[in-house]
Structure 1
Amino acid sequence: MADPSTNPSLAERLRTVQAGLRPDLEVSRHTFRNQPSYIVRNPITFQSHSLSPSDYHVLISLDADKPLSRIFDELVAARRLEQDQEELFYAFVVKLHQLGFLNLPITDGKALYSRFRRRQASQRRATITGFLFWRVPLFNPDSMLVRTLRYVRPLFSPVAVALWTVLMLCSAGIIWHRWDDFKQPLQTILVAENLAGLWVLLVVLKLIHEFGHAYVCKLFGGKVPEMGAYFICFTPCAYVDASASWGFASKRQRIAVSLGGMYVESIVAALALLVWNATGPSLLNSFAHQTVTLASIVTIAFNINPLMRYDGYYILSDLIEIPNLRARSNAQLQAVCKRWLLGIRSDVLPFSPAGRVLLFLYGACSSAWKAFLVVAICAGVALKVYILGAVMAAIYGFSVLWGTVVKFVAYLGKSSETAPVRGRAIALGAVVLAGVPLMVAAIPVCKPVKVRGVVATIGERPVRAQTSGFLRQYEVVPGQSVETGSVLCTLENAHVRAAADAARAQYALLNLEADCGLAQHPTTAAIVQRRAEHVRNIMRDAQRDADNLSVRAPLAGDVIDCDANPRSGRFIQEGDAIATIASGDWIVRAPVTAQQIADARPFVGQKVRVRLLGQTSRQLAGTVTDVAEIGSAKIVPRSLTQLGGGTVAVAPDTMTAAEPYFEIIVRLDDADARLPHGATALVNLHARPQTIGTQLHRSALRFLNKLRS
């Protein structure tokens, strides 16, 4: 093996090389934070790179007729560079060559072969993981955009923007006033029968979104050389290359291009909202609701989110005037970690302290969001297709997590930068890879468990009609207190009353006949007497039916579930519910999942706090009196389901949930006698502290159980 000290440096290899700048590069000058910056764009790869004034001066100094050593000497003579920066100069030239800005012949076979092997490995990793994020260029839309620009130009005029503002205000008002109606279908929007339509709708919305970017870019004179499709988790989403906007000198124009897609998509969403507001339950109404939901949720979660390299990222980069925001924030994050963990001082980025803090926070948040997104996508796919989700998790776990760990260990153990602090670096690696996870897993955390329930009473007795009849009037209203025997409502049935009157008359006639014939015809009188007894039984039943036309309370209590606006003359069948009488202590019936049972571990006698929704300042004390041992997927209180504005997702036709729920009964200790029966209450179950490791272990087990089910 050759001695490393004998390997020639970059300066020794490149002094005699002549490198010229490509004449087709596009350069634009910008000002960021009162500092000039030069954006160099490669028209072949459509990639851009930001250069500082000093780097740009080095770039334009390159001359194909001069060797690099002569160019370096001229820069030193002009005091653009220092003599000890020779190696940095040649490294910068190599970087420009890698960016495709110039041609640089390098004859070092080992270096070329090493770079070739690294490129091959990178391509293999991209092939393995790229099937989830597959990019397919389709055509050059520039000429088509030129021909059709005059038709869409009015859409981006000041008048159109003013009308758009009014439209957005109207949309916000509709959502504000009809929020309960709008959120009700959200619980079932992802049911199986909707997925195909949502898939097609998402593709159409993203196509409209990308055309918005393209037309705004073309409006300001930029070229749009490519349009294609991204296959993200097998869902095609359109894309356009509007990177020409990076060369716009006006920050307002660059931001306008980034906002163009969301601007057009928001118009579609607002028009769909107007359709939804103007139509009743129908296929058109459902389609409009889905359009609004996709256009808003996807925009908020992806396009306008600055933590992902979509529209929001470039808007934030222009607003804070920091080009290459992702790369610089990662560099600042690494510099801070090296400084505080290893004591290694890196070159300070040319920003104010506040700017460096902003870069650090952005780098940390974007890294955390990327990890969260990968885990969420893998888990979401695994819940639908177990094998595919497991493969995705394995691929990302190996390529991302394992690759990061290997690079981290190699940096700590082999990097020349950590050589002066090797012992500290090894100790840090042990702490980060083993100590920190163990300490975090051992932290006890009290995870609050809040469940929804309905207010009820211990004794609830439904009152039903014992006789059929036409409703005459209700004598009570909901919430009214009644005593035993109080009349709740009166029914009218002429046949029942006539039967009672006829039975009474016949009974009186038979008694009179029996009394008259008792002395002269005792035998006949005895027969008549037996007939009278039979008729008396008939009369008693008929009179009971007549009395039941006045429906009375069987016990004292409060009237609930009573028709507050009865329709007079409505026919009531025998057995129909008239009202419900509630009596006894106030309770809350709350259905909870098996996961909530495991987290909270409720027990009989446990003290809890209860709050009625809509009464934020009032809390009630309660005691758990019963915990069901057998769960049921049948959810009876409609108000707890998505159909009544609740959180439990059920099938609308069967009212059954996807998992069993266990009922907990909480007796309210200090409640007064005038609570709203049937109101929704929030029960705060004081969960016992559990370590983070235990919670993660249980979450993993529950996740695996869902995959098997």
Structure 2
Amino acid sequence: MSTSLFSSFWHRVAAVKPRLRSHVEINRHLYRGDVWYVIQDDASGRFHRFTPQAYALIGLMDGRRNLDEIWHSAGEQLGDDMPSQDEVIHLLSQLYRVDLIQTDVIPDIAEASERREKDRRSKLLAMVKSPLAIKIPLLDPEPFLNRTAGLSRWLFNPLSGLIWLCCVGWALMQAGYHWDELTENLADRVLAAENLFLIWLVYPFVKLIHEFGHAYALKRWGGEVHEMGLMFLIFMPIPYVDASASAAFTNKYPRMMVGAAGIVVEAFIAAMAMVVWVYAEPGLVRSVAFNALLIAGVSTLLFNGNPLLRFDAYYVLADFLEIPNLGSRSTRQIAYLCKRYLLAQEHEESPAYSRGEARWMVFYAIASFIYRIFITISIVLFVASQLFFIGILLAILSLYNMFGKPLLSIIKYLFMDRSMVQKRGRAALVVAVLTGLTGVLLFVVPVPRMSVVHGVFWAPDSARLMAGSNGFLETVAVASGEPVKAGQVLFISRNAELESQLDRTAGRIKELLVHYRTAVAEERQNEAGIILEEIQQARAELSRGLAEKRGLQLISPADGIFQLALPVDPKDRFIPRGTLMGYLLQAGNYRIRAVVGQSDVEAVRNDLKGVSVRVSERLEKTIPATLVGEVPSAQKALPSAALSVDGGGQFALDPTVKERPEAFEPVFLFDLQVNNMPVSRIGERVYVRFEHTPEPIGFRLYRQIRRTLLRQLEF
């Protein structure tokens, strides 16, 4: 409400007789317990929301009453809520700008033409600003949808919903069961040239069904679809339909169903693709099903199914919260808070109509901004890795849209808006303080810096128990984890061939001894000498055989706790000589082998202030450690599969190497000394924290951005 009910400009418009255009339809909606009126413009497809006070004026615009009569009549209805003359003039100008009313005054043809030309330029400019999502209208699908409207009742009913739940639930269970097979070597499979061609073919088809889901949902609840075309999303042509007519639905749940229809349809497509993928033989059909599953699943999760982007889930969330125009109003709410509390603009009004709306708007504005930055950077890096110069242009345009354009708007408001004439000193102070504070926080204030990596409990060579001879394991005399004494038998193996060889060697020695005595008795000195050498060789062979036989029994060299290194049931397995059988653990000095990625190795080598370790089973306890060594060069072999992503670690495995765990990118190995560490399992995961010199966040962000550019673009 204005301070005064009257306006000095009222005499200019008081005699005007406005009336709503014939293509305008008004619907009564309920948002968060408050009544609103939504005006639908069938000519432009736009929707406009007005308060009951505004509707009291609009409803009287029949072309017979002049504006002064309308104002007085509305005043009689509204009483204390009566609008001022300035507010009525503002409402009239709003209705006129969006072509919802006409008056008895001869229209300004030049002005109308200028407005149409401005709208056309705005659409072209929007296409230039958003080159990743360009829309081209092609046809009106309404006649086709009318002929097939019966299909909508089959698609959207309780029985169809139950079938959908069963299919999607089954597909989710299958995805969990086949997760390793679905995700194995995923990047190489998806980005292979032949697979990219399949995606290019399958994606538009999946999205066509998606869009018809919106269209039939709209028909199911009585709406109309008059626009269908192509949208180039990241240069890929996909169909779209204009389902904005659902905004006229009085009940929010049909509106939500129209918005969610595409997600529902894609989930069903993913379920059907899972059926084909599970039961089809390897080949083209299975590859097409995999790509349909990938498109209907991943794209839905990242785009259509994510309310932080203005796709399907965004409109579902806005309807569920009953906050129309959630995205734009959230931005305006942040602007209101800044103007009101930073710039002391007391006349500013919040776009939120309740505290609940205000909280949702602030949360949504921050969350959506962060996610838009993440998804835009991901898309730009992907495009730049394939098309470098186009990616760079997209990066510049994206940075301008996300940061440059809002910054220019802020500067323009601070120094050119008339409402800031009396506040420019405060504005300059606020800008200076915020800029200085940001600079200090980013580039002056040091914050703790550390590298947290994974490692494994690494036993010294003296703790390793190796098989002393080839044989088949017959007995594991001690269970893993039990204490043992020095000299106690741990393993017993058998080797029938070795036993036969020992028997033959012993028999040969007896035979040679008989021949030797006979040669000595008959004084055949030369022959006796030769036989003696053979006896010595046979005895050496017997000695080696006996040593191997003793090696079939593995004996504990000292007191400690035994840990088995073989599989759970190693009995009757052939164990070659030198096989690691287990460990003899003793409380004392042990080492940890930590695996460091390329991004952290420089700081670990050149700026190390301290090291601490936490064992995965006792995370609450921090154990000090000392860096004692480094494997001289980078390598890909990991000390343990527990350090891979599949084992819960940090490093992706190279899918081309099956024999041993090998990282996709080179890593660096460091050995840590941990004194008086309690006995633990060899190979147990540990978390290692390397502490470095504190450093401001800005320098770290710069290094991270530089590493990302080098890794993704070699730039």
Task: Give TM-score scaled by structure 1 length.
Answer: 0.83
Equivalent residues of 1:180, 1:645 under 8 A apart:
no
Is the aligned partner of 1:406 residue 2:411? no
Equivalent residues of 1:453, 1:681 under 8 A apart:
yes
Is the aligned partner of 1:606 residue 2:610? yes
1:451 to 426, 450, 453: 453
Equivalent residues of 1:514, 1:525 under 8 A apart:
no
Is the aligned partner of 1:427 residue 2:429? yes
Equivalent residues of 2:17, 2:67 under 8 A apart:
no
CA distance in 2, matches of 1:168, 1:399: 38
Q: Which residue matches 1:308?
A: 309
Which residues of structure 2 form unaligned runs of 5+?
A: 1-7
CA distance in 2, matches of 1:245, 1:236: 25
Q: Which residue matches 1:79?
A: 75
Deviating more after overlay: 529-538 vs 279-288: 279-288
Q: Which residue matches 1:624?
A: 627
List per-residue Cα deviations over 1:412-440 (Å, max 9, x = no partner). Answer: 11211111212112333334455534444
Equivalent residues of 1:590, 1:664 under 8 A apart:
yes
Aligned 1:125-144 pairs, distance under 5 A: 125-144=125-144
Is the aligned partner of 1:708 residue 2:714? yes
Q: Which residue matches 1:659?
A: 665
- Structure 1 residue 446: Cα displacement: 2.9
CA distance in 2, matches of 1:435, 1:120: 43
Q: Quickly say closer, same or farther: Cα 1:420–1:681, change in 2 above 3 A.
A: same
CA distance in 1, matches of 2:506, 2:387: 75
Say which SS state the counterpart of residue 159 (structure 2) adopts.
Answer: helix
Aligned 1:128-527 pairs, distance under 5 A: 128-151=128-151, 153-165=153-165, 181=180, 185=184, 188=187, 192-193=191-192, 195-197=196-198, 202-270=203-271, 295-345=296-346, 346-349=348-351, 351-433=353-435, 435-459=437-461, 461=464, 463=466, 466-467=469-470, 486=489, 488-494=491-497, 496-521=498-523, 524-527=524-527
Q: Which residue matches 1:699?
A: 704
Equivalent residues of 1:624, 1:667 under 8 A apart:
yes
Say which SS state the counterpart of residue 317 (structure 1) adopts.
Answer: helix
Deviating more after overlay: 555-564 vs 598-607: 598-607
Say which SS state the counterpart of residue 399 (structure 2) adopts.
Answer: helix
List per-residue Cα deviations over 1:323-348 (Å, max 9, x = no partner). Answer: 23333333332222111111112135
Deviating more after overlay: 546-555 vs 441-450: 546-555
Say which SS state the counterpart of residue 100 (structure 2) adopts.
Answer: coil
Is the aligned partner of 1:672 residue 2:667? no
Identical counterparts, % of pairs: 24
Deviating more after overlay: 337-346 vs 695-704: 695-704
Equivalent residues of 2:611, 2:688 under 8 A apart:
no
Q: Which residue matches 1:5?
A: none
Q: Which residue matches 2:569?
A: 565
Q: Which residue matches 1:650?
A: 653
Is the aligned partner of 1:690 residue 2:692? no
Q: Quickly say closer, same or farther: Cα 1:317–1:124, change in 2 above 3 A.
A: closer
Corresponding letter in the other structure for 2:677: A
Q: Which residue matches 1:3?
A: none
Q: Which residue matches 2:5?
A: none
List per-residue Cα deviations over 1:8-53 (Å, max 9, x = no partner). Answer: x997987787765321223222122333222222223322221222
List per-residue Cα deviations over 1:294-313 (Å, max 9, x = no partner). Answer: 54544343334333222332
List per-residue Cα deviations over 1:190-242 (Å, max 9, x = no partner). Answer: 75336555555554544443333222221111112233332222234443222
CA distance in 2, matches of 1:604, 1:442: 21
Deviating more after overlay: 259-268 vs 469-478: 469-478
Q: Quickly say closer, same or farther: Cα 1:26–1:286, change in 2 above 3 A.
A: same
Equivalent residues of 1:503, 1:535 under 8 A apart:
no
List per-residue Cα deviations over 1:507-563 (Å, max 9, x = no partner). Answer: 323323332342542xx1342233232243144225524652553448737454324
Q: Quickly say closer, same or farther: Cα 1:681–1:65, change in 2 above 3 A.
A: same
Q: Quickly say closer, same or farther: Cα 1:603–1:182, change in 2 above 3 A.
A: farther
What is the number of equivalent residue pairs in this alignment? Answer: 688
CA distance in 2, matches of 1:466, 1:384: 56
Equivalent residues of 2:15, 2:67 under 8 A apart:
no
Equivalent residues of 1:26, 1:42 under 8 A apart:
yes
Say which SS state the counterpart of residue 49 (structure 1) adopts.
Answer: strand
Corresponding letter in the other structure for 2:214: H
Q: Quickly say closer, same or farther: Cα 1:27–1:605, change in 2 above 3 A.
A: closer
Equivalent residues of 2:611, 2:689 under 8 A apart:
no
Alpha-carbon RMSD: 4.2
CA distance in 1, matches of 2:307, 2:99: 29
Say which SS state the counterpart of residue 313 (structure 2) adopts.
Answer: helix
List per-residue Cα deviations over 1:534-593 (Å, max 9, x = no partner). Answer: 24314422552465255344873745432432363x666x65736354567443322111
Corresponding letter in the other structure for 1:682: Y
Say which SS state the counterpart of residue 225 (structure 2) adopts.
Answer: coil
Deviating more after overlay: 413-422 vs 476-485: 476-485
CA distance in 1, matches of 2:243, 2:583: 69
Q: Quickly say closer, same or farther: Cα 1:248–1:671, change in 2 above 3 A.
A: same
CA distance in 1, matches of 2:251, 2:493: 79
CA distance in 2, matches of 1:476, 1:287: 53
CA distance in 1, matches of 2:113, 2:137: 30
2:686 to 681, 691, 705: 681
CA distance in 1, matches of 2:375, 2:169: 32
- Structure 1 residue 248: Cα displacement: 1.1
Deviating more after overlay: 256-265 vs 183-192: 183-192
Q: Which residue matches 2:595?
A: 591
Deviating more after overlay: 479-488 vs 455-464: 479-488
Corresponding letter in the other structure for 1:136: I
CA distance in 2, matches of 1:125, 1:547: 87
Q: Which residue matches 2:4?
A: none
Task: Give TM-score scaled by structure 2 length.
Answer: 0.82
List per-residue Cα deviations over 1:255-314 (Å, max 9, x = no partner). Answer: 222222222333344555677788999998887777666545443433343332223322
Equivalent residues of 2:75, 2:83 under 8 A apart:
no
List per-residue Cα deviations over 1:74-104 (Å, max 9, x = no partner). Answer: 4246537999955554443343233232458
Equivalent residues of 1:451, 1:590 under 8 A apart:
yes
Which residues of structure 1 form unaligned runs of 5+?
A: 1-8
CA distance in 2, matches of 1:607, 1:249: 63
Q: Quickly say closer, same or farther: Cα 1:317–1:419, change in 2 above 3 A.
A: same
Q: Quickly say closer, same or farther: Cα 1:642–1:236, change in 2 above 3 A.
A: farther
Corresponding letter in the other structure for 1:75: W
Equivalent residues of 2:642, 2:649 under 8 A apart:
yes
CA distance in 2, matches of 1:543, 1:277: 60
CA distance in 1, matches of 2:488, 2:530: 34
